[in-house]
A and B are shown apart, each in its own frame.
Chain A
């Protein structure tokens, strides 16, 4: 594995890095204020919309975009497609930060955070709550992801005997670790969808269905592939490295298949339930928009010439990431109507905190790819 990855031996602190740091500082100040003055002081959350931008973007979208490690692990380890192995590392790295930041955002979001540990006490926990499964699986998966990242970190210390020894031992456990690393996201990404079933009529019938778990799972896997393609292209541009075009176009084809299955099931469910697809006004527009974004990567992949064009691969991955994000926003916020009189749009400090968390994620990513061997070596693809 060591000989297919390398680190970018460049300066960590650059101008964009400082800009990100500034955003992070603003967020930290606002987070301190949130803990002093309460959630109402920094958010537009209300009793009608108790979950807002943080849950929807930082947690739902953040973890779905962090499904790169999960999606690539299925492809490489389960489906035995080792030609994709070179991008597994960078996919796992993005997942690590996506999930770690999501956990941090969740901690900021819960009102009685000092009771947070109670979710880990079996005698305290209500096992019929879907949220319990989500919380425990996400927490466990964050740990698993860091373990999966550990070989990369340990490789950064080739002269320390202990690091080399630990790495060797971890390698032996790989099948078990990878299997847990596939099982946990399967469970919690689907359960994230199940969360909304209990909201009943408050969620528009365009999104409310018993198939929410399946749709959330499939779209998370697809978003994982999209995030991997997206990240690979962007890092090639940023670090002026050759593109892995042939691998990415194959990956895009796999991704499009997942999306195609998703779209068929999604349309079948809407038809079968006789959902008001075209008669829900603004919500109909959002539904159609969401599914058009899903359709773009499928249409691109149909044409072989477009699939080998990097610009279209990038477009396909962006469109899918947008589709999956919009699906999550629609299913948790836009299609959610608690009754007359309630409205929600995130407050400025709420948005700044989210931006700050994203900035921290990017800074950590930049630090890691420059310091450790994460990105695939040129010509390996």
Chain B
């Protein structure tokens, strides 16, 4: 049983305001990549199944009590341009050339949903100074606690997907983002975007099961009929559809240490606006570096000790204070 990376910091730094009382003899734990939570919940979005109806956007607003986001000057439509403090979820459209064939890179088009990816090792929670953004230890959903938040916006710097949004127009602002409808779980609910998706393009469930389902879809033969579950991965309600081409890539399986929102599409993901990320999360990179410098707080103490000794020696040889 090794200590996890976060536990190490908690232990070696707990109870100290600056550095004073934080000597920890805890042996250095190797910085292993953060594993997926066994009970982690997530979403599988399949762009080839998506019909762009935006039902997920409408119910997301309803279930999260979000106001319309106007960009048209007539203020008639809820027409967000992108994710914002008023929009946690958006369906975007990729087009190329004639834009006639669905899910085709050249002369085609593709839908793509954007929302919080609920990273396995989130940069935002690593960056957040006060755990206002934190990962639910069971579901792995990245949650926000406004009572802790300082509004420093380091989460926005850290997030590779630019997901956390800030209320710039308010004197008492909050960070806003998708929290995987965690507030619906106590009443037996789940992510509204999946519950109301009419085609099964977005399904909710255990991430391990979703990963298996994604792999199954990639192994299907194009043109054949296959079962696609609706709403939830464990649902008996399925729809039959003809399998179309897939790009052989599960976005979120490895990206930035992995995510709990997984995506399938035929158009390459970087064309759909998703960043190509290395398998190492930037949270891991930062904490590895940080850990190397502050292992057991040895460096600060040695520094202080050496500096103190030299100054003591030097000042005692001087008349000057």
> Footprint of B on A, CB under 8 Å?
1, 35-41, 43, 45-48, 50-51, 77-78, 80, 82, 85, 109-113, 115-116, 118-120, 122, 124-133, 135-137, 140, 151, 171, 174-176, 178-180, 182-184, 186-187, 190, 194-202, 210, 213, 338-339, 341
Question: In the complex, which of the residues A120, A129, A136 has the most CB atoms of chain B within 10 Å of its own CB atom?
Answer: A129
> Footprint of A on B, CB under 8 Å?
5-6, 9-10, 12-19, 82-85, 123, 125-131, 146-154, 156-158, 160, 162, 164-174, 256, 273, 275, 277, 282-283, 285-287, 289-290, 293-294, 300, 303-304, 307-308, 310-312, 314-315, 317-318, 320-321
What is the minimal beta-carbon distance from B300 to any residue of chain A, in angstroms?
6
Say yes or no: A131-B315 contact (C-beta < 8 A), given A176-B308, A200-B282.
no
Supplied contacts A78-B314, A115-B150, A125-B131, 16 more A-B pairs, CB within 8 Å: A47-B83, A50-B166, A78-B307, A80-B317, A82-B320, A85-B320, A111-B150, A119-B150, A126-B126, A127-B13, A129-B154, A151-B321, A179-B308, A180-B304, A183-B307, A200-B123
Question: In the complex, which of the residues A46, A179, A338 has the most CB atoms of chain B within 10 Å of its own CB atom?
Answer: A179
What is the minimal beta-carbon distance from B87 to any residue of chain A, in angstroms?
11
Contact A122 B14 (CB under 8 A): yes
Write the chain B residue with the least CB distance to A132.
Answer: B129
Could you write out 18 A-B pairs with CB less than 8 Å apart? A35-B171, A38-B168, A111-B166, A113-B150, A120-B17, A122-B15, A126-B131, A127-B9, A127-B13, A128-B290, A178-B307, A183-B307, A187-B300, A197-B282, A199-B282, A201-B160, A213-B293, A338-B162
Chain B residues lying within 8 Å of A341, measured Cβ to Cβ, are: 82
Contact B129 A125 (CB under 8 A): yes
In the bound complex, CA of A182 to CA of B126 (Å)? 27
Contact A112 B172 (CB under 8 A): yes
Contact A213 B171 (CB under 8 A): no
In the bound complex, CA of A120 to CA of B16 (Å)? 9
Chain B residues lying within 8 Å of A199, measured Cβ to Cβ, are: 157-158, 282
Tell which of B13, B174, B285, B314 touches A77, judged by Cβ atoms closer than 8 Å.
B314
Chain B residues lying within 8 Å of A175, measured Cβ to Cβ, are: 308, 311-312, 315
Write the chain B residue with the least CB distance to A342.
Answer: B162
Tell which of A113, A124, A136 touches B151, judged by Cβ atoms closer than 8 Å.
A113
Contact B303 A183 (CB under 8 A): yes
In the bound complex, CA of A141 to CA of B163 (Å)? 34
Say yes or no: A47-B165 contact (C-beta < 8 A), given A118-B130, A124-B148.
yes
Chain B residues lying within 8 Å of A45, measured Cβ to Cβ, are: 168
Contact A126 B129 (CB under 8 A): yes
Chain B residues lying within 8 Å of A115, measured Cβ to Cβ, are: 130, 147-151
What is the minimal beta-carbon distance from B304 to any residue of chain A, in angstroms?
5
9 tightest A-B CB contacts, nearest first: A111-B151, A40-B168, A112-B151, A127-B13, A50-B153, A200-B282, A179-B308, A50-B156, A171-B321
Write the chain B residue with the least CB distance to A118.
Answer: B130
In the bound complex, CA of A82 to CA of B315 (Å)? 10
Chain A residues lying within 8 Å of B286, measured Cβ to Cβ, are: 130, 194, 197-198
What is the minimal beta-carbon distance from A3 to any residue of chain B, in angstroms?
10
Chain A residues lying within 8 Å of B16, measured Cβ to Cβ, are: 122
Chain B residues lying within 8 Å of A130, measured Cβ to Cβ, are: 127, 286, 290
Say yes or no: A198-B153 contact (C-beta < 8 A), given A37-B171, A111-B173.
no
Chain B residues lying within 8 Å of A43, measured Cβ to Cβ, are: 168
In the bound complex, CA of A163 to CA of B282 (Å)? 51
Tell which of A38, A125, A178, A184 touches B311, judged by Cβ atoms closer than 8 Å.
A178
Chain B residues lying within 8 Å of A187, measured Cβ to Cβ, are: 19, 300
Chain A residues lying within 8 Å of B256, measured Cβ to Cβ, are: 200
Chain B residues lying within 8 Å of A112, measured Cβ to Cβ, are: 146, 149-151, 172-174
Contact B170 A119 (CB under 8 A): no
Contact B126 A129 (CB under 8 A): yes
Contact B156 A179 (CB under 8 A): no
In the bound complex, CA of A183 to CA of B303 (Å)? 7
What is the minimal beta-carbon distance from A80 to any residue of chain B, in angstroms?
4
Chain A residues lying within 8 Å of B307, measured Cβ to Cβ, are: 78, 178-179, 182-183
Chain B residues lying within 8 Å of A339, measured Cβ to Cβ, are: 162, 273, 275
Contact B127 A198 (CB under 8 A): yes
Write the chain B residue with the least CB distance to A129.
Answer: B129
Contact A119 B300 (CB under 8 A): no
Contact B166 A47 (CB under 8 A): yes
Tell which of B127, B282, B321 touches A129, judged by Cβ atoms closer than 8 Å.
B127
In the bound complex, CA of A80 to CA of B316 (Å)? 11
What is the minimal beta-carbon distance from A75 to any residue of chain B, in angstroms?
11
Chain A residues lying within 8 Å of B150, measured Cβ to Cβ, are: 110-113, 115-116, 118-119
Contact B130 A210 (CB under 8 A): no
What is the minimal beta-carbon distance from A145 to any residue of chain B, in angstroms?
14
Say yes or no: A198-B282 contact (C-beta < 8 A), given A40-B169, A130-B290, A131-B154.
yes
What is the minimal beta-carbon distance from B120 to any residue of chain A, in angstroms?
15
Chain B residues lying within 8 Å of A46, measured Cβ to Cβ, are: 168
Chain B residues lying within 8 Å of A131, measured Cβ to Cβ, are: 127, 129, 152, 154
What is the minimal beta-carbon distance from A137 to any residue of chain B, in angstroms?
7
Contact A210 B289 (CB under 8 A): yes
Contact B157 A198 (CB under 8 A): yes
In the bound complex, CA of A50 to CA of B168 (Å)? 10
Contact B151 A137 (CB under 8 A): no
In the bound complex, CA of A133 to CA of B289 (Å)? 14
Contact A78 B311 (CB under 8 A): yes
Tell which of B157, B167, B172, B321 touches A1, judged by Cβ atoms closer than 8 Å.
B321
Question: In the complex, which of the residues B84, B152, B277, B282 has the most CB atoms of chain A within 10 Å of its own CB atom?
Answer: B152
Write the chain A residue with the least CB distance to B126.
Answer: A128
Write the chain B residue with the least CB distance to A36.
Answer: B171
